[in-house]
Structure 1
Amino acid sequence: MTAINQDQKEFWNGNGGSSWVSGQEEMDRFLAPFTEQLMTHAVPAKGERVLDIGCGTGDTSLKAAAAVGASGSVHGVDISQPMLNLAESRAAGQGASHASFAEGDAQTDTLGDAADLVISRFGVMFFEEPTVAFKNIHAHTKPGGRMVFICWQPVRENEWVHIGLGIAKKHVEFPPPPDPYAPGPFAFADIERTLGILGDAGWSNAKAEPFATKLNQGSSARDAAESLMLRGPISRVMMDKTDAEKEAVLSDLTDAMEAKMVDSKVLLGAGVWIVSATA
């Protein structure tokens, strides 16, 4: 296991996973526009078997489970056990016995029975070897099966990212910029490269559709700023900063969020790619 891959697993089984679990309802609301787009494009049908890559706390898996019904099934895979624990609890609470969850790495692990449909909401950009991962996913998809996933467009198209980064960089030192193609939220922002990876992995008819929206970051400027600090793109950098540095960033970020209030909501621009392909 390489250092990058291990880093991802440690983060999502540590502070990264626990912060998502504690903010599950908030994150589901924040990501709701993309969940809707994912389901609209994927169109899970009654009786189908769905594989959800990077299923997290189970929001997309449970929506797919409702669509395929008891005659179908959904299998969610993630590297974060804390998030999977919550997904299993939510499924039990909804009586979704046809939704199952397992800790696993889509790059190398067995992903259950062959799927009719593969979905992912921001769960595929963290692969250290994306071609290997998509080959493995392809091997777990029925011939002619389809895949739909959502990944972020470049940072410049995502206000919810660059507004926080700009403010944080005024107060704290950031590490050198990573390789833009290294595992991370924006690893698939170069969509031509991403489509090329899918082709190399054996997928056909790969295409991408842009989608832009405004994300509801919360009902108060302070809550929105705190959420970006805890679960946004600056969270990992701010984790080990001093209380004074954190408060300075939080204060300026709160002021910035105040300027983004519309009808008692903090709305921030976001852009994604909706990618589809056929096995």
Structure 2
Amino acid sequence: MADRAAPPTIDPGNAPMQEFWAGSRGQSWVRRSVAYDGQLRGYSEALVAELAPVAGESALDVGCGTGFTTRALAAAVGAAGAAVGVDLSAAMIAGARAAADASGLGRDHRPTFQVADAQVADLTALNGGRPYDVITSRFGVMFFSNPDAAFANLAAAAAPGARLAFICWAAPDLNPWFTQPRAAAQPFLESVTGPQKPEPTDAPGPFSMADPDQPVAILERSGWADASARTLTDGIYLGGPGPIGSAVEFLTSGSAMAPVIEANPTLLQPVREALTEALSPHHDGTGVRYGAAAHLVTATRP
């Protein structure tokens, strides 16, 4: 199926997030997509294993980024099925299309990608009017401005009996991969920014669904059934497997601290040194491995 233009509608509440991911952060993710996918690969594999898509099914990947999970779904559903990836970021979608072109998947097996707001878009229109048998997201649903509306819209695009599974981060204090490197760099970053606020948990952002009861409750009131959550506690390799220097470069050039460093180049060397010291004890011979916790949330469409 050829990529087609998605409806241009964006919920006003999601416009700031679209602007954020369409800019330098989205472009940075695209440039470092191999590192991000190396870090998050296990979660994509967990989602595909949970959903168990079969040949001929239609699959939707929400907040698909550069399409790693979407490509796995496309391989599973085969030429008789369809895999569609949607994201707010035009930069991400361009990266996803380029990655699909380079993936080696046959043309009949390749997914399609569209810039679309899953909270309001006519999602079945992106799949030739066909509802989805499988809907998933790897760390994309935490950014909805109105999660109830978003999951109701996803339910409207789901076939009867469709399976939903997504991954969202648990609390920051259960994710030292996030907190410990940030703490090491924080004194240097705050020397130019002033005190940095903790990540909010009551607004769209990576930890907005840290309480697993929250997404379950949202699903139950938005048209889904049998909602449940379990917490995955396997560790992750920061920036994917590789030497310490690669993980340090990943953080200083691709993480949330990168814009501050780019605007203040004199910070780069001291931050590198601080991160190298902090990360070194966590290198296990394969990569810099930290503890991580994320919720695998599942439901079905009645």
Q: TM-score, normalised by structure 1?
A: 0.93
Counterpart contact for 2:230–2:295, Cα < 8 Å = yes
For residue 4 of structure 1, report the CA deviation from its aligned partner: 5.8
Q: Which amino acid aligns with 2:117?
A: D
Counterpart-to-counterpart distance in 2, 1:16 and 1:144: 36
Residues 5 and 247 of structure 1: CA distance in aligned 2, closer, same or farther (over 3 Å): farther
Is 1:275–2:297 an aligned residue pair?
yes
Out of 199, 218, 235, the residue aligned to residue 197 of structure 1 is 218
Q: Name stretches of at least 5 consecutive residues in structure 2 with no aligned partner.
A: 1-9, 125-129
For residue 234 of structure 1, report the CA deviation from its aligned partner: 3.7
Residues 179 and 157 of structure 1: CA distance in aligned 2, closer, same or farther (over 3 Å): closer
Counterpart-to-counterpart distance in 2, 1:87 and 1:251: 34
**104-113 or 226-235, larger mean C-alpha shift:** 226-235
For residue 271 of structure 1, report the CA deviation from its aligned partner: 0.9
For residue 264 of structure 1, report the CA deviation from its aligned partner: 4.2
**116-125 or 241-250, larger mean C-alpha shift:** 241-250
**1:119 is paired with a residue of what secondary structure?**
strand
Counterpart contact for 1:153–1:273, Cα < 8 Å = yes
Out of 211, 216, 235, the residue aligned to residue 232 of structure 2 is 211
Superimposed CA distance per residue, residues 204-234 of structure 1 (whole angstroms, 9 cap, x where no aligned partner): 1100111111212242222212212333354
Q: Which residue of 2 aligns with 1:79?
A: 88
Counterpart-to-counterpart distance in 2, 1:77 and 1:3: 17
Q: Which residue of 2 aligns with 1:184?
A: 205
Q: Which amino acid aligns with 2:81?
A: G
How many residues were matched structurally? 278
Structural mapping, 1:45-124, within 5 Å: 45-93=54-102, 94-98=105-109, 99-112=111-124, 113-124=130-141
Superimposed CA distance per residue, residues 56-80 of structure 1 (whole angstroms, 9 cap, x where no aligned partner): 1111011001111111101110011
Q: Which residue of 1 aligns with 2:247?
A: 224
**149-158 or 167-176, larger mean C-alpha shift:** 167-176
For residue 144 of structure 1, report the CA deviation from its aligned partner: 1.6
**36-45 or 215-224, larger mean C-alpha shift:** 215-224
Give the superposed CA RMSD.
Answer: 1.9
Counterpart-to-counterpart distance in 1, 2:122 and 2:11: 19
| Greater than 6 Å deviation, 4+ residue runs | none
Counterpart contact for 1:164–1:234, Cα < 8 Å = no
**1:245 is paired with a residue of what secondary structure?**
helix
Counterpart-to-counterpart distance in 1, 2:47 and 2:195: 33
Q: TM-score, normalised by structure 2?
A: 0.86
Counterpart-to-counterpart distance in 2, 1:23 and 1:239: 17
Q: Which residue of 2 aligns with 1:32?
A: 41
Q: Which amino acid aligns with 1:128?
A: S
Q: Name stretches of at least 5 consecutive residues in structure 1 with no aligned partner.
A: none
Counterpart contact for 1:57–1:87, Cα < 8 Å = yes
Write 1 or 2 for the structure with the bigger share of strand: 1
Q: Which amino acid aligns with 1:231?
A: G
